[in-house]
Amino acid sequence: MKKTIASGMRPTGKLHLGHYLGVIQNWVSLQDQYDCYFFAADWHALTTKFDKTETLAQDTLDVITDWLASGLDPARATLYVQSLVPQIAELNILLGMITPQNWVERDPTLKDLVKMHADISYGMLGYPVLMSSDIMAFNAHAVPVGSDQVAHIEITRDIARRFNNIYKTNFFIEPEPVLNDCALICGLDGQKMGKSFDNDIKISDTDEVTAKKVMSAITDPARVRRDDTGNPDQCQVAFKYWQIFGTPVQIEAAQSECRAGSRGCADCKRQLAAVINEKFAPVRERRRYFEQNQDEVKQIITDGSAKARAKAQETLTEVKKIIGIYR
Ligand code: TRP
Protein backbone atom coordinates (compact mmCIF):
# COMPACT_ATOMS: atom_id res chain seq x y z
CA MET A 1 0.00 0.00 0.00
CA LYS A 2 1.14 3.52 -0.81
CA LYS A 3 2.18 5.82 2.01
CA THR A 4 0.13 8.95 2.59
CA ILE A 5 1.21 12.55 2.30
CA ALA A 6 -0.73 15.64 3.23
CA SER A 7 0.22 19.23 2.62
CA GLY A 8 -1.44 22.58 2.30
CA MET A 9 -0.90 26.14 1.31
CA ARG A 10 -2.61 29.27 2.53
CA PRO A 11 -4.69 30.72 -0.30
CA THR A 12 -2.88 33.99 -0.86
CA GLY A 13 -4.13 34.44 -4.43
CA LYS A 14 -2.30 33.73 -7.65
CA LEU A 15 0.92 31.84 -7.05
CA HIS A 16 4.42 32.92 -8.03
CA LEU A 17 7.51 31.07 -9.19
CA GLY A 18 8.73 30.75 -5.60
CA HIS A 19 5.67 28.63 -4.75
CA TYR A 20 6.08 26.67 -7.95
CA LEU A 21 9.76 25.83 -7.53
CA GLY A 22 9.71 25.56 -3.74
CA VAL A 23 6.59 23.48 -3.19
CA ILE A 24 4.31 22.67 -6.11
CA GLN A 25 6.91 21.04 -8.31
CA ASN A 26 7.69 18.76 -5.39
CA TRP A 27 4.01 17.90 -4.94
CA VAL A 28 3.64 17.13 -8.64
CA SER A 29 6.58 14.74 -8.54
CA LEU A 30 5.14 12.88 -5.51
CA GLN A 31 1.68 12.21 -6.96
CA ASP A 32 2.39 8.72 -8.21
CA GLN A 33 4.47 7.50 -5.31
CA TYR A 34 2.07 8.47 -2.54
CA ASP A 35 -1.59 8.70 -1.69
CA CYS A 36 -1.72 12.51 -1.76
CA TYR A 37 -3.95 15.03 0.03
CA PHE A 38 -3.34 18.64 -1.02
CA PHE A 39 -5.51 21.44 0.26
CA ALA A 40 -6.02 25.18 0.32
CA ALA A 41 -5.63 26.11 4.01
CA ASP A 42 -8.32 28.78 4.18
CA TRP A 43 -8.77 28.50 7.96
CA HIS A 44 -5.07 29.17 8.31
CA ALA A 45 -5.47 32.23 6.08
CA LEU A 46 -8.00 33.55 8.60
CA THR A 47 -5.41 33.51 11.40
CA THR A 48 -3.99 36.71 9.95
CA LYS A 49 -6.70 37.89 7.55
CA PHE A 50 -9.89 37.41 9.54
CA ASP A 51 -10.83 41.01 8.76
CA LYS A 52 -9.84 40.95 5.07
CA THR A 53 -12.03 38.26 3.61
CA GLU A 54 -13.31 40.00 0.45
CA THR A 55 -10.99 37.99 -1.79
CA LEU A 56 -10.69 34.80 0.28
CA ALA A 57 -13.11 32.67 -1.73
CA GLN A 58 -11.66 33.81 -5.06
CA ASP A 59 -8.09 33.37 -3.78
CA THR A 60 -8.97 29.80 -2.81
CA LEU A 61 -10.23 29.08 -6.29
CA ASP A 62 -7.19 30.80 -7.85
CA VAL A 63 -4.72 28.78 -5.84
CA ILE A 64 -6.28 25.49 -6.87
CA THR A 65 -6.48 26.68 -10.49
CA ASP A 66 -2.73 27.31 -10.33
CA TRP A 67 -2.13 23.81 -8.93
CA LEU A 68 -4.06 22.22 -11.76
CA ALA A 69 -2.14 24.35 -14.26
CA SER A 70 1.12 23.21 -12.65
CA GLY A 71 0.27 19.57 -13.21
CA LEU A 72 -1.46 18.38 -10.06
CA ASP A 73 -3.90 15.80 -11.29
CA PRO A 74 -7.19 15.12 -9.49
CA ALA A 75 -7.08 11.56 -10.81
CA ARG A 76 -3.88 10.97 -8.84
CA ALA A 77 -4.13 13.37 -5.90
CA THR A 78 -7.00 14.50 -3.70
CA LEU A 79 -7.34 18.29 -4.01
CA TYR A 80 -9.65 20.05 -1.58
CA VAL A 81 -10.42 23.06 0.55
CA GLN A 82 -9.66 22.75 4.26
CA SER A 83 -12.91 24.38 5.42
CA LEU A 84 -14.93 21.83 3.43
CA VAL A 85 -13.59 19.11 5.73
CA PRO A 86 -15.09 19.85 9.18
CA GLN A 87 -13.62 16.60 10.53
CA ILE A 88 -10.32 18.49 10.67
CA ALA A 89 -11.89 21.05 13.02
CA GLU A 90 -13.25 18.30 15.25
CA LEU A 91 -9.84 16.66 15.44
CA ASN A 92 -8.40 20.09 16.19
CA ILE A 93 -10.56 20.27 19.34
CA LEU A 94 -9.44 16.85 20.49
CA LEU A 95 -5.74 17.47 19.82
CA GLY A 96 -6.03 20.88 21.48
CA MET A 97 -6.96 19.12 24.73
CA ILE A 98 -3.69 17.18 24.88
CA THR A 99 -1.34 19.90 23.61
CA PRO A 100 0.47 21.78 26.39
CA GLN A 101 0.14 25.53 26.07
CA ASN A 102 3.89 26.06 26.14
CA TRP A 103 4.38 23.83 23.08
CA VAL A 104 2.41 26.21 20.90
CA GLU A 105 3.95 29.27 22.50
CA ARG A 106 7.40 27.88 21.73
CA ASP A 107 6.73 27.39 18.02
CA PRO A 108 9.33 29.61 16.28
CA THR A 109 7.26 30.10 13.12
CA LEU A 110 4.38 31.29 15.24
CA LYS A 111 6.72 33.69 17.01
CA ASP A 112 7.56 35.24 13.62
CA LEU A 113 3.89 35.56 12.76
CA VAL A 114 3.25 37.18 16.11
CA LYS A 115 5.96 39.74 15.39
CA MET A 116 4.26 40.73 12.12
CA HIS A 117 0.75 40.82 13.56
CA ALA A 118 0.87 42.53 16.90
CA ASP A 119 -2.44 41.37 18.35
CA ILE A 120 -2.77 37.65 18.13
CA SER A 121 -5.98 35.71 18.34
CA TYR A 122 -6.78 32.47 20.11
CA GLY A 123 -7.04 30.90 16.65
CA MET A 124 -3.59 32.13 15.70
CA LEU A 125 -2.11 30.66 18.86
CA GLY A 126 -3.67 27.37 17.80
CA TYR A 127 -1.99 27.49 14.38
CA PRO A 128 0.34 24.52 15.01
CA VAL A 129 -2.46 22.38 16.46
CA LEU A 130 -4.69 23.07 13.47
CA MET A 131 -1.82 22.27 11.16
CA SER A 132 -1.26 19.02 13.06
CA SER A 133 -4.95 18.23 12.63
CA ASP A 134 -4.60 18.78 8.87
CA ILE A 135 -1.83 16.22 8.77
CA MET A 136 -3.10 13.75 11.35
CA ALA A 137 -6.65 13.66 9.94
CA PHE A 138 -5.08 11.64 7.13
CA ASN A 139 -2.54 9.95 9.38
CA ALA A 140 0.07 11.08 6.88
CA HIS A 141 3.56 9.59 6.84
CA ALA A 142 5.14 12.59 5.21
CA VAL A 143 4.54 16.29 4.64
CA PRO A 144 6.21 17.99 1.66
CA VAL A 145 6.75 21.64 2.63
CA GLY A 146 9.14 24.55 2.32
CA SER A 147 11.88 24.69 4.96
CA ASP A 148 10.00 27.45 6.82
CA GLN A 149 7.36 24.92 7.88
CA VAL A 150 9.60 22.30 9.46
CA ALA A 151 9.21 23.64 13.00
CA HIS A 152 5.45 23.16 12.78
CA ILE A 153 5.89 19.56 11.73
CA GLU A 154 8.12 18.99 14.75
CA ILE A 155 5.15 19.94 16.91
CA THR A 156 2.93 17.59 14.93
CA ARG A 157 5.35 14.75 15.67
CA ASP A 158 5.30 15.70 19.36
CA ILE A 159 1.50 15.78 19.43
CA ALA A 160 1.23 12.43 17.67
CA ARG A 161 3.67 10.86 20.14
CA ARG A 162 1.86 12.39 23.10
CA PHE A 163 -1.50 11.11 21.89
CA ASN A 164 -0.07 7.62 21.49
CA ASN A 165 1.46 7.76 24.98
CA ILE A 166 -1.61 9.11 26.73
CA TYR A 167 -4.05 6.67 25.14
CA LYS A 168 -1.61 3.73 24.98
CA THR A 169 -1.92 3.23 21.28
CA ASN A 170 0.29 3.38 18.24
CA PHE A 171 -2.46 4.75 16.04
CA PHE A 172 -0.84 7.99 14.95
CA ILE A 173 2.19 8.03 12.68
CA GLU A 174 4.88 10.62 13.44
CA PRO A 175 5.06 12.40 10.09
CA GLU A 176 8.34 13.37 8.45
CA PRO A 177 8.88 16.62 6.55
CA VAL A 178 9.91 16.14 2.91
CA LEU A 179 12.05 19.00 1.71
CA ASN A 180 12.66 20.00 -1.83
CA ASP A 181 16.30 20.27 -2.90
CA CYS A 182 15.52 23.12 -5.29
CA ALA A 183 17.40 26.39 -4.77
CA LEU A 184 15.27 29.14 -3.30
CA ILE A 185 14.38 31.70 -5.97
CA CYS A 186 14.81 35.33 -4.96
CA GLY A 187 12.55 38.16 -6.07
CA LEU A 188 13.34 40.57 -8.93
CA ASP A 189 14.97 42.92 -6.39
CA GLY A 190 17.17 40.22 -4.88
CA GLN A 191 15.07 39.94 -1.70
CA LYS A 192 12.81 37.03 -0.79
CA MET A 193 10.16 36.60 -3.49
CA GLY A 194 6.74 37.48 -2.13
CA LYS A 195 3.39 38.67 -3.31
CA SER A 196 3.36 41.63 -0.93
CA PHE A 197 6.87 42.79 -1.92
CA ASP A 198 5.87 43.46 -5.54
CA ASN A 199 8.93 41.54 -6.73
CA ASP A 200 7.42 38.31 -7.98
CA ILE A 201 6.66 36.61 -11.28
CA LYS A 202 3.32 34.83 -11.23
CA ILE A 203 2.63 31.44 -12.74
CA SER A 204 -0.30 33.20 -14.44
CA ASP A 205 1.66 36.17 -15.82
CA THR A 206 1.64 36.47 -19.61
CA ASP A 207 4.86 36.19 -21.61
CA GLU A 208 4.85 39.95 -22.05
CA VAL A 209 4.46 40.69 -18.35
CA THR A 210 7.12 38.12 -17.51
CA ALA A 211 9.54 39.67 -20.00
CA LYS A 212 8.90 43.14 -18.61
CA LYS A 213 9.47 41.94 -15.07
CA VAL A 214 12.66 40.03 -15.95
CA MET A 215 13.99 43.16 -17.68
CA SER A 216 13.64 44.95 -14.33
CA ALA A 217 15.72 42.36 -12.47
CA ILE A 218 18.92 43.52 -10.81
CA THR A 219 22.20 42.48 -12.44
CA ASP A 220 25.84 43.29 -11.62
CA PRO A 221 25.67 46.83 -10.19
CA ALA A 222 29.29 47.50 -11.19
CA ARG A 223 28.49 46.93 -14.84
CA VAL A 224 27.32 50.18 -16.38
CA ARG A 225 27.98 50.04 -20.12
CA ARG A 226 26.96 47.20 -22.38
CA ASP A 227 30.53 46.13 -23.15
CA ASP A 228 31.92 46.50 -19.63
CA THR A 229 33.19 43.12 -18.54
CA GLY A 230 30.80 41.71 -15.96
CA ASN A 231 31.01 39.35 -13.04
CA PRO A 232 28.20 36.80 -12.81
CA ASP A 233 29.05 36.19 -9.16
CA GLN A 234 28.11 39.81 -8.47
CA CYS A 235 24.97 39.59 -10.56
CA GLN A 236 22.23 39.81 -7.97
CA VAL A 237 19.29 38.29 -9.75
CA ALA A 238 19.63 37.55 -13.46
CA PHE A 239 22.48 35.07 -13.21
CA LYS A 240 20.80 33.35 -10.25
CA TYR A 241 17.75 32.86 -12.43
CA TRP A 242 19.95 31.43 -15.20
CA GLN A 243 21.24 28.88 -12.71
CA ILE A 244 17.67 27.82 -11.95
CA PHE A 245 16.17 27.90 -15.44
CA GLY A 246 19.09 27.47 -17.85
CA THR A 247 20.61 24.31 -19.28
CA PRO A 248 24.29 23.80 -18.39
CA VAL A 249 25.22 25.10 -21.86
CA GLN A 250 23.09 28.22 -21.44
CA ILE A 251 24.51 28.88 -17.98
CA GLU A 252 28.06 28.53 -19.25
CA ALA A 253 27.37 30.85 -22.19
CA ALA A 254 25.76 33.48 -19.96
CA GLN A 255 28.72 33.34 -17.65
CA SER A 256 31.53 33.48 -20.19
CA GLU A 257 29.88 36.11 -22.40
CA CYS A 258 29.23 38.27 -19.34
CA ARG A 259 32.85 38.02 -18.25
CA ALA A 260 34.07 38.81 -21.76
CA GLY A 261 31.74 41.81 -22.03
CA SER A 262 30.21 40.37 -25.19
CA ARG A 263 26.66 40.06 -23.83
CA GLY A 264 24.95 43.11 -22.38
CA CYS A 265 22.64 42.82 -19.38
CA ALA A 266 19.55 43.74 -21.42
CA ASP A 267 20.28 41.05 -24.01
CA CYS A 268 21.02 38.59 -21.27
CA LYS A 269 17.68 39.25 -19.58
CA ARG A 270 15.80 39.14 -22.87
CA GLN A 271 17.17 35.63 -23.45
CA LEU A 272 16.43 34.69 -19.87
CA ALA A 273 12.79 35.80 -20.18
CA ALA A 274 12.42 33.67 -23.29
CA VAL A 275 13.75 30.63 -21.43
CA ILE A 276 11.38 31.19 -18.49
CA ASN A 277 8.43 31.71 -20.82
CA GLU A 278 9.26 28.53 -22.68
CA LYS A 279 9.40 26.56 -19.44
CA PHE A 280 6.02 27.86 -18.30
CA ALA A 281 4.28 27.66 -21.68
CA PRO A 282 2.54 24.33 -20.94
CA VAL A 283 1.60 25.45 -17.42
CA ARG A 284 0.14 28.68 -18.76
CA GLU A 285 -1.73 26.92 -21.50
CA ARG A 286 -3.35 24.63 -18.93
CA ARG A 287 -4.08 27.65 -16.78
CA ARG A 288 -5.94 29.33 -19.62
CA TYR A 289 -7.97 26.16 -20.03
CA PHE A 290 -8.95 26.01 -16.35
CA GLU A 291 -9.61 29.75 -16.25
CA GLN A 292 -12.13 29.28 -19.02
CA ASN A 293 -13.57 26.23 -17.32
CA GLN A 294 -13.89 27.32 -13.71
CA ASP A 295 -16.89 25.03 -13.22
CA GLU A 296 -14.58 22.12 -13.84
CA VAL A 297 -12.25 23.40 -11.12
CA LYS A 298 -15.17 23.79 -8.72
CA GLN A 299 -16.28 20.24 -9.45
CA ILE A 300 -12.75 18.98 -8.78
CA ILE A 301 -12.85 20.77 -5.40
CA THR A 302 -16.29 19.35 -4.59
CA ASP A 303 -15.21 15.80 -5.42
CA GLY A 304 -11.83 16.08 -3.71
CA SER A 305 -13.38 17.52 -0.56
CA ALA A 306 -15.89 14.66 -0.40
CA LYS A 307 -13.04 12.15 -0.65
CA ALA A 308 -11.08 14.01 2.01
CA ARG A 309 -14.10 14.06 4.35
CA ALA A 310 -14.56 10.31 4.01
CA LYS A 311 -10.93 9.61 4.80
CA ALA A 312 -10.79 12.11 7.69
CA GLN A 313 -14.00 10.64 9.13
CA GLU A 314 -12.36 7.20 9.30
CA THR A 315 -9.54 8.70 11.33
CA LEU A 316 -11.90 10.62 13.57
CA THR A 317 -14.09 7.60 14.29
CA GLU A 318 -11.03 5.64 15.32
CA VAL A 319 -9.70 8.52 17.43
CA LYS A 320 -13.01 8.89 19.28
CA LYS A 321 -13.02 5.18 19.96
CA ILE A 322 -9.44 5.34 21.29
CA ILE A 323 -10.17 8.32 23.55
CA GLY A 324 -13.40 6.76 24.75
CA ILE A 325 -15.89 9.40 23.68
CA TYR A 326 -19.59 8.45 23.69
CA ARG A 327 -20.46 7.31 20.20
N1 TRP B 1 1.35 26.64 7.26
C2 TRP B 1 1.42 26.33 5.86
C3 TRP B 1 1.88 27.59 5.09
O4 TRP B 1 1.78 28.67 5.60
C5 TRP B 1 0.12 25.87 5.30
C6 TRP B 1 -0.39 24.65 5.97
C7 TRP B 1 -1.52 24.58 6.74
C8 TRP B 1 0.15 23.32 5.91
N9 TRP B 1 -1.71 23.30 7.15
C10 TRP B 1 -0.71 22.51 6.68
C11 TRP B 1 1.28 22.76 5.29
C12 TRP B 1 -0.47 21.14 6.84
C13 TRP B 1 1.51 21.40 5.47
C14 TRP B 1 0.64 20.60 6.22
O15 TRP B 1 2.28 27.45 3.95
282: CATH: 1.10.240.10
Query: What secondary structure does DSSP assign to 68-117, as a single string?
Result: HHHT--TTTEEEEEGGG-HHHHHHHHHHHHHS-HHHHHH-HHHHHHHHHS
Which pLDDT score is estimated for 296?
A: 98
Task: Give how far Cα 92 sits from Cα of 44, 87, 105, 284, Å.
Answer: 12, 8, 17, 37
Residue whose CA is at the smallest distance from ligand 1 atom 3: 9
- The alpha carbon of residue 309 and the mean position of all alpha carbons in its chain are separated, in whole angstroms, by 22
Does residue 155 register a pLDDT over 90? yes
- Tell me the residue range of the domain where 82 lies: 4-185+293-323
pLDDT given at position 92: 98
pTM score, whole prediction: 0.94
Q: Which amino acid is at 92?
A: N
Could you give the CA distance from residue 217 to residue 266 in angstroms, rounded to a whole number?
10
Average pLDDT of 198-226? 92
pLDDT at 180 over 90: no
Quick check: CB of 45 below 6 Å from ligand 1? no
Could you tell me which residues are beta bridge partners of residue 5?
36, 142
Torsion angles phi and psi, residue 264, rounded to 5: -75, 160
Protein residue with least CA distance to atom 13, ligand 1: 7
How do residues 241-291 score in pLDDT, each as one tens digit? Answer: 999 999 999 999 999 999 999 999 999 999 999 999 999 999 999 999 999
Ligand 1 centroid distance, CA of 264 (Å): 42
Round to whole Å and give the CA distance between 206 and 212. Answer: 10
Q: Does residue 162 sit in the same domain as residue 63? A: yes
Write down the H helix ranges in the chain.
Answer: 17-19, 25-30, 42-49, 56-70, 86-98, 101-106, 108-116, 122-125, 127-136, 150-166, 207-215, 238-245, 248-260, 265-292, 294-323
Report the CATH number at residue 170: 3.40.50.620
pLDDT at 118 over 80: no
- Residue 318 CA, ligand 1 centroid: distance in Å: 24
pLDDT at 135: 98
pLDDT class of 133 with cuts at 50, 70, 90: very high
pLDDT averaged over the chain?
94
Q: Is the pLDDT of residue 202 over 90?
A: yes
Average pLDDT over every residue of 111-120: 78
What is the pLDDT confidence band of residue 108, given thresholds at 50, 70 and 90?
A: confident
Q: Which of 42, 44, 130 to mutate to test the pocket of ligand 1 (most atoms within 8 A of CB)?
A: 44
**Do 298 and 280 belong together in one domain?**
no
Same domain, yes or no: 299 and 275 = no
Question: What's the total number of domains in the chain?
Answer: 2
Residue 41 CB–ligand 1 contact under 6 Å? yes
Going by pLDDT thresholds of 50, 70 and 90, the confidence category of residue 327 is confident
